[in-house]
């Protein structure tokens, strides 16, 4: 067992000894979801004031609305959320490359067959060159989607990893 796995096991044991929230309802109590990046420097609960059971938190590389759409639809249609808070962040890795760069890295590391699989699955890594524009584009994507009700409140934000502050873009 790796050191990480041992830590998961020990932390789970410690956490479970004082856990008292097992009766929370499945749908989020405050009926919203946060879509943010998977970046390890972001603690959504602390940064955005989310208590256990309040909201769904969807994380992926770059806080991509396109990539998160399946989870968004499940959250809204099956679990009753009515608002989306999209939060990208400064210093995001998605600002640092283009699809061609990611494909080249995969080929170098995993070989040509892996790249063929990426192409066969039409995988777009969804990088973006401008942070605020990416927030605006993803909010517009969600508002234009027939899979997100017009009645939804949708906002777009930027979290500053340097300061811990979050500022609204749209």
CATH number at residue 75: 3.40.1050.10
The reply to whether 56 sits in an annotated binding site is: no
What is the pLDDT averaged over residues 160-167? 98
Whose CA is closest to 158, among 136, 140, 143? 136
The reply to whether 43 sits in an annotated binding site is: no
**Structural domain that includes position 51:** 27-93+127-168
What is the pLDDT averaged over residues 67-74? 98
- The reply to whether 60 falls in a domain is yes
What is the pLDDT averaged over residues 38-60? 98
Report the predicted TM-score, pTM, of the whole model to 2 decimal places: 0.95
DSSP 3-61: HHHHHHHHHHHHHHHT---TT--SS-TT-EEEEEE--TT--HHHHHTPPTTSEEEEEEG
The reply to whether 138 sits in an annotated binding site is: no
- The reply to whether 9 falls in a domain is no
Q: How many domains does the chain have?
A: 1
How many residues appear in the chain? 170
- The reply to whether 156 falls in a domain is yes
């Amino acid at each position: 067992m790796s050191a990480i796995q041992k830590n998961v096991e020990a932390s789970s044991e410690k956490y479970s000894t004082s856990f008292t929230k097992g009766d929370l309802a499945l749908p989020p109590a405050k009926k919203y979801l946060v879509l943010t990046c998977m970046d390890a420097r972001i603690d959504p609960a602390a940064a955005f004031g989310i208590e256990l059971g309040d909201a769904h938190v969807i994380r992926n590389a770059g806080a991509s609305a396109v990539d998160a759409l399946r989870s968004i639809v499940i959250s809204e249609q099956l679990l009753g959320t009515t608002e989306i808070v999209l939060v990208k962040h400064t210093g995001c890795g998605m600002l640092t490359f283009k699809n061609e760069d990611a494909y080249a890295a995969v080929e170098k590391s995993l070989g040509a067959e892996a790249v063929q699989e990426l192409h066969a699955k039409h995988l777009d890594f969804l990088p973006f060159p401008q942070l605020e524009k990416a927030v605006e584009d993803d909010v517009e994507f969600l508002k234009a989607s027939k899979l997100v009700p017009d009645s939804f409140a949708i906002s777009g934000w930027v979290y500053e990893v340097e300061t811990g502050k979050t500022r609204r873009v749209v």
